[in-house]
Structure 1
Amino acid sequence: MRFNQFFITATSDEQRPVSNKIGAAIVDRIVRAYEEGQPFKVWVVMPSVPAFAGDLKSKEALGTRAIMEYQYNSISRGGHSIIQKLVAAGIQNPREYIGFYNLRNYDRINTSRTMRQVESQSGVRYEDARRYHDDYVNEERYGQDDEDSQYYDRYQRQAQSVKDDTLDTVSAAYMKHGPNIADIPWDGEPEDEFDAFVSEQLYIHTKLLIADDRLVICGSANLNDRSQLGTHDSEIAVVIEGPQSVKSYMNGEQYAASEFAASLRRQIFRKHLGLLPDQRWDQPNRNWLPVTDAPNDYDWGSSADRLVEDPLSPDFLQLWEDTAATNTEVFSRAFHPVPDDKVRNWDDYDQFFSKYFTIPSAKENEEKDDDDNDGKVPYGHVVREEFPGGVQELKEWLSRVRGNLIEMPLQFLIEVEEIAKEGLTLNGLTDELYT
């Protein structure tokens, strides 16, 4: 299993300017397993977009598109990718051996009657109070006068005198033992609740590899040339082979795993499959503390632990794939995030994404008339047209989500010859910035 911020690698010298051959090593190991009839599986979990959310079609996103193009050429495109090499070796279904995944969540912004009551009684809009607080914390200004410093204090004083039973987060709904999202109360109008649901990708910054439930590599190095060649970015990593073993299973057979590696892998898998209870901020436990203060707890042998114990068992593999597929379907319909497999070219992009959303950071939006953005909602909110039955239909749909695992959309812009066209800022001289 590999969690990485970037995935840029080569299987041969044909993929210049990319030089590192980790991709070739992955191909060789999978082909060996295939030829010997051995069960073998690689899970790669990475960001769906290697940057902050925005309009991927904009000029400002050229660097992001460049990284995405290198990643797709490493994974499944360009003629020399990992998946194409596996197919050429006779492996008809490479997904049996390697899979690529992203993470995504949803939540509900607490814009309840309580907030409107506080705004009315304090005479301060929540947004003004929030902006002043951000200015204070970040020592940045939003162009407001110094007199606005009173906004935050006035709002906070009034907020402390008002009782609020509305949940600040509904993330427990897609975790173990969590409530059904349809049963979580909302203190406000149904239309307001519809607009309160939002989704975003979980940006993976981890650089982690867990091999065979026995070895862990964790550090700062990404899977790209900048980290792997030793001539660019400075990196550090640790290799952990825990001395304590634990009885486990691998491919249905008894297996001696490392207690550290196995518990780490199982904990991560359970988190992203929704098999861990929601962790409340106001109910700390030993796992919140540094290991120097208290060893982390793990519930060996629990029903949820047994579901992820053997990563090569058919039942686990089905659970993983079904969860990712269901979550992907739900998020795609509700929030129209990009990238998405439905978006195979830029016309698809406009119909699936651009027609529904405004992007606060996009310069193009600032130049458009209000009429051009009429009916649109901020990126990350629900596409209303998908739910003629209103918020109840939406919540019934969202109730299917478990955890935050989704499939990586390998068909995104598959019909576009160059996702990132070369120019003054993307050329042979700047390649090393992106690889």
Structure 2
Amino acid sequence: MVAIDQTVAFVGGIDLAFGRWDDSQYRLSDLGLTEESNHVKTSQKGNGVTEGPKSDNPTKQDPAHLDGNTKLWLGKDYSNFIYKDWTNLDKPFEDNIDRTKIPRIPWRDLSAAVHGCVAKGLLDLIISCTEGTTVKNGIGKAVVDRILRAHREQKKFRVFVVIPLLPGFEGDISSGGGNAIQAILHYTYSTMCRGQNSILSKLSEVEDRWTEYISFCGLRKHSQLCESLVTELIYVHSKTLIADDRCYLIGSANINDRSMLGDRDSELAVFVEDEERVPSVMGGQEYEAGPLTLALRKECFSVLVGASSDPSINIDDPISDDFFFLVWNETAKMNTTIYDKVFRCLPCNSVHSMLHLKDYSCQERLCNTDPEQAVEELKGIRGLLVHFPLKFLCEENLQPPKNTKEGLAPSELWT
């Protein structure tokens, strides 16, 4: 949080760190090009970065001569922390990675600005709050209970989960990613779909119909970098919950024990509940929505499913079958299929073991073998949404070995 003169406060999950600023274009490159292209053509193994043949119409700009205000991300602000973590932090204006070869990881955050007595109240809270009531992390149970209730009552209910495709640690995912990445993946999958305490295991009563109630997705982008085609995940860092088009929560807390137990990390959030109402639609019925919440939800959905560039995509009714199945899930499915076909991206739902991962990573990519066909395939990409690969390395134990520094660390470090 940043509070100014006790009159305005900015609250959200964004860190004061390199690589955090971004806009809705989520650029993968920063060489001073005037236009972001969707034609892809290079590769670095790991993180789904792909290398292919040169373009027939190479750019005339020389990256070596692009400096100062010609770049949006100076020095280490141009970052791909999964490819390489930051080093030499005392030299912030020196590049940490080769921006002519490695795409940056775009960053998605949401924040809120509050004014007047609310801003002063947030500041007073930080100064005076030394004790609190007992807090428990009941979010997963609440999601399960609400889905089971909807299932038993035969009513529509949807949960849209959007998270990073990979943890924010350095590691080559084509060889497994390393102990830190695997440890985070272990606990992520344990929450969502693996083990008896996961959300999907607790939804066993629903069986395969869980897909009617909850969706797990990530975000991905493709572009052109120095005459080559590249793709990279978008790191979802926003800690935001939007409910019923009437209220939303924006803050610093993750959905994990570290943020939610109340005795570990200090977190702050603003809860906004609309008092006014505007006509809307929910589940095919007339519905009174909150204007601020409705606008926020539609702005987010518009970017993710591509409605911002295709007005024919209707995002008015978020829980209707048409939107949930034919827009949201179909967009994620289509984009995932195309990216896997063109780039053989990782993580991937079809890779279940380390042995399969090694074989998968060695196979040729369409962008290398048939670049013209790759470009045609990529024209089908809509928005940023892709499915989160729930079966990635599902046959492996992703907990770090006990004889490693990651394995010696307590589970609280990762959760």
Is the structural similarity TM-score above 0.5? yes
User: Structure 1's 419 and 400: CA in aligned 2 closer, same or farther, altered over 3 A?
Assistant: farther
User: Structure 1's 25 and 327: CA in aligned 2 closer, same or farther, altered over 3 A?
Assistant: same
1:372-413: CA deviation from partner (whole Å, max 9, x where unpaired): xxxxxxxxxxx545664x322111110010011000000100
Larger % of helix: which? 1
Query: 2:345 matched to which residue of 1?
Result: 337
Contact 2:352–2:393 at 8 Å: present in 1 too? yes
Distance 2:413 2:295 in 1: 36
User: Structure 1's 90 and 276: CA in aligned 2 closer, same or farther, altered over 3 A?
Assistant: closer
Which one of the candidate residues 215, 223, 237 is aligned to 1:99? 215
Contact 2:175–2:358 at 8 Å: present in 1 too? no
Question: Normalising by structure 1, what TM-score?
Answer: 0.61
User: Structure 1's 347 and 427: CA in aligned 2 closer, same or farther, altered over 3 A?
Assistant: closer
Which one of the candidate residues 321, 332, 341 is aligned to 1:314? 321
**Amino acid aligned to 1:262:** L
Distance 1:43 1:53 in 2: 28
Contact 2:352–2:392 at 8 Å: present in 1 too? yes
Unaligned runs of 5+ in 1: 6-18, 112-192, 279-301, 357-382
User: Structure 1's 218 and 39: CA in aligned 2 closer, same or farther, altered over 3 A?
Assistant: same
Distance 1:209 1:232 in 2: 21
Distance 1:242 1:96 in 2: 28
Contact 1:341–1:410 at 8 Å: present in 2 too? yes
Q: 1:267 is paired with a residue of what secondary structure?
A: helix
Are 1:397 and 2:397 matched, yes or no? no
Contact 1:387–1:393 at 8 Å: present in 2 too? no
Contact 2:366–2:374 at 8 Å: present in 1 too? no
Q: 2:230 is paired with a residue of what secondary structure?
A: strand
Distance 1:215 1:386 in 2: 44
Query: 2:143 matched to which residue of 1?
Result: 26
User: Structure 1's 384 and 74: CA in aligned 2 closer, same or farther, altered over 3 A?
Assistant: closer
Are 1:256 and 2:256 matched, yes or no? no
Query: 2:235 matched to which residue of 1?
Result: 203
Residue 321 of structure 1: how far off its partner (Å): 1.2
Distance 1:35 1:339 in 2: 34
Residue 57 of structure 1: how far off its partner (Å): 6.5
Q: 1:203 is paired with a residue of what secondary structure?
A: strand
Q: 1:400 is paired with a residue of what secondary structure?
A: coil
Counting only pairs closer than 5 Å after superposition, residues 204-353 of structure 1 correspond to structure 2 as 204-277=236-309, 303-304=312-313, 307-317=314-324, 318-353=326-361
Residue 432 of structure 1: how far off its partner (Å): 1.1
Residue 417 of structure 1: how far off its partner (Å): 3.1
Q: 1:342 is paired with a residue of what secondary structure?
A: coil
Are 1:410 and 2:390 matched, yes or no? yes
Specify the structure having the higher radius of gyration (Cα): 1
Are 1:36 and 2:68 matched, yes or no? no
User: Structure 1's 62 and 427: CA in aligned 2 closer, same or farther, altered over 3 A?
Assistant: closer
Counting only pairs closer than 5 Å after superposition, residues 82-161 of structure 1 correspond to structure 2 as 82-87=199-204, 89-109=205-225, 111=226
Residue 59 of structure 1: how far off its partner (Å): 8.6
> Number of aligned pairs?
282
Residue 231 of structure 1: how far off its partner (Å): 1.2
Which one of the candidate residues 164, 174, 179 is aligned to 1:62? 179
Unaligned runs of 5+ in 2: 1-12, 15-106, 108-135
Q: 1:256 is paired with a residue of what secondary structure?
A: strand
Distance 1:54 1:336 in 2: 18
User: Structure 1's 254 and 338: CA in aligned 2 closer, same or farther, altered over 3 A?
Assistant: same
**Amino acid aligned to 1:208:** T
User: Structure 1's 428 and 80: CA in aligned 2 closer, same or farther, altered over 3 A?
Assistant: farther
Over the matched positions of the two proteins, sequence identity in percent amounts to 37
Contact 1:69–1:420 at 8 Å: present in 2 too? no
Residue 348 of structure 1: how far off its partner (Å): 1.2
Distance 2:339 2:171 in 1: 17
Distance 2:373 2:206 in 1: 45
Residue 53 of structure 1: how far off its partner (Å): 6.1
Query: 1:145 matched to which residue of 2?
Result: none
Contact 1:413–1:419 at 8 Å: present in 2 too? no
Q: 1:426 is paired with a residue of what secondary structure?
A: helix
Residue 344 of structure 1: how far off its partner (Å): 0.5
Distance 1:60 1:347 in 2: 14
Distance 1:45 1:102 in 2: 5
Distance 2:192 2:401 in 1: 19
Distance 2:192 2:365 in 1: 34
Distance 1:222 1:204 in 2: 11
Q: 2:287 is paired with a residue of what secondary structure?
A: strand
1:116-147: CA deviation from partner (whole Å, max 9, x where unpaired): xxxxxxxxxxxxxxxxxxxxxxxxxxxxxxxx
Distance 1:386 1:315 in 2: 33
Q: 1:411 is paired with a residue of what secondary structure?
A: coil
Q: 2:172 is paired with a residue of what secondary structure?
A: coil
User: Structure 1's 37 and 349: CA in aligned 2 closer, same or farther, altered over 3 A?
Assistant: same
